[in-house]
Amino acid sequence: MKFFVDTADTNDIKELAATGLLDGVTTNPSLIMKSGRPMKEVIAEICELVDGPVSAEVVATDAEGMLKEAEELIAIADNICIKLPLTLEGLKACRVLANKGVQTNVTLCFSANQALLAAKAGATFISPFIGRLDDINVEGLDLIAEIRQIYDNYGFGTEILAASIRTANHVKDCALIGADVATIPPATLKGLVKHPLTDKGLEAFMKDWAATGQSIV
Ligand code: E4P
């Protein structure tokens, strides 16, 4: 399973990239707003920090406008992935970009039929939003499972990028279902390593080791 981080905060991205565990980055207009920085500047910096796909989202609502914006964004770096909304216009733009070999991430997916359309439009990634479905009392993980089955039934190459992840259990459950990628907020991603028994065990080992008076180097 690939791990993307869902943020436009370059300090968090730097820290996570240094672990070697990061496969890509996703951003959206809200995350750009939160960064307080000009979009093109922050996206360019992120593209230098990670080798994998960096999703940059268009904001036009018609395919022609989306494609114009995509041209600008693609010029930033080779690892740009164009993020498009799950609308008919977004799917039209997706097909054009896919035919040109540009990576695409179709976002704001809330149903299996939407995911089916994105795969038919040649999307590189489909982003089903788990947390926002949970927020309205719909089981977000069921959507991931449905998409997995549909894509496997037909051999679609579109990767399932589980998005709107809120908890460590979301990550584990998406991995069990077989999502290809999870895009995770920085704090949740860093939190995956935590276990109280690891901390307790390490503390005991350190204490016993100190009692031996030895050193390895
Ligand atoms: C995905 O690409 C989105 O940026 C993100 O996962 C949305 O998450 P949220 O529902 O927590 O805003």
d(CA 127, CA 106): 6
Q: Are 56 and 43 in contact (CB under 8 A)?
A: yes
- Whole-number pLDDT of residue 16: 98
What single letter denotes the amino acid at residue 69? E
Identify the band that residue 92 occupies on the pLDDT scale cut at 50, 70 and 90.
very high
Name the H helices within 124-195.
Answer: 130-135, 140-154, 168-177, 186-191
Q: What is the pTM of this model?
A: 0.96
Atom of ligand 1 nearest to the CA of 26: 2
Nearest-CA residue for atom 7 of ligand 1: 164
- What is the tens place of the pLDDT at every residue in 143-166? 999 999 999 999 999 999 999 999
Question: How high is the pLDDT of residue 159?
Answer: 98
Beta bridge partners of 160: 126
Q: Please list the active-site residues.
A: 83
- Distance, in Å, from the CA atom of 192 to the CA atom of 44, rounded to the nearest integer, reads 28
The DSSP code for 129 is B
Taking phi over 0 as left and psi of -120 to 50 as alpha, with beta for the rest, 134 belongs to alpha
Alpha carbon nearest to ligand 1 atom 5, residue: 164
**Could you tell me the residue ranges of all domains in the chain?**
2-212
Tell the residue nearest (CA) to atom 9 of ligand 1.
164
Q: What pLDDT, on the 0 to 100 scale, is given for residue 165?
A: 98
Q: Residues lining ligand 1, judged by CB closer than 6 Å?
A: 6, 26, 28, 107, 127, 129, 131-132, 163-164, 183
State in Å: Cα 154 to ligand 1 middle: 27
pLDDT band at 1 (very low <50, low <70, confident <90, very high): very high
Q: pLDDT class for 205, splitting at 50, 70, 90?
A: very high
CA pair distance 171, 179, nearest whole angstrom: 9
pLDDT, residue 70, reads 98
What are 119-128's pLDDT values in tens digits? Answer: 999 999 999 9
How many CB atoms lie under 10 A from the CB of residue 23?
17
Architecture in CATH of 2-212 = Alpha-Beta Barrel (3.20)
